[in-house]
Amino acid sequence: MRMTLPVMGAILLASFGLSSAKPYAAQEKPGSTEPKMTPEDTAKKNPIPPTPEGLAEVRKLYGYNCAMCHGKTGDGKGDLAADMKLELRDWRDASSLEKVTDGELFWIISNGKGKMPGEGDRTKERVRWNFVNLVRSFAKKEVADKP
């Protein structure tokens, strides 16, 4: 009987704590706290020219963080995308990005979109602009590979 009261009290306190806890951010309704892209974001120009060194640096990060969904070559057919039944753009097709500005790509890379987490606080701004260069390079590679 002596142990029953403390155990019940602990269970009661834990249940109050769980019921008043803020839900995990991933469980919140989509768009509730998601940042919105502004016209200023869209209009940003990429200040980082594509270089072999910059692309090599970001290609490594892409392999760790992005290829599982976007595919090794940017085809949008990564293993995780297939498992999650996501339909992603094939960046090898230049027309898939022709109406998307560098500013839009940078914003999406920085803040995420849908189920994709953003790189914002994890990478430097220069690296995120190099991600934009890498995404653009996927289509250029395909054109260069064709006779």
What are the 10-residue block averages of pLDDT along the chain, 147 residues in total?
52 44 39 80 96 96 95 94 91 93 97 92 94 94 47
Q: Which two tokens stand for residue 20?
A: 């008043």
Q: For the whole model, what pTM was predicted?
A: 0.72
Report the pLDDT value the prediction gives residue 11, as an integer from 0 to 100. 53
> Would 16 be classed as within a structural domain?
no
pLDDT in tens, 5-38: 554 454 544 444 434 443 333 333 455 577 899 9
DSSP 82-129: HHTT-----TTSGGGTTT--HHHHHHHHHHEETTEEP-TTTS-HHHHH
Residues whose CB is less than 8 angstroms from the CB of residue 44 and which lie 6 or more positions away in sequence, other chains included? 101, 102, 103, 106, 107
The total number of structural domains in the chain stands at 1
Q: How many CB atoms lie within 10 A of CB 144?
A: 8
- Which domain range does residue 95 map to? 37-145
> Would 47 be classed as within a structural domain?
yes
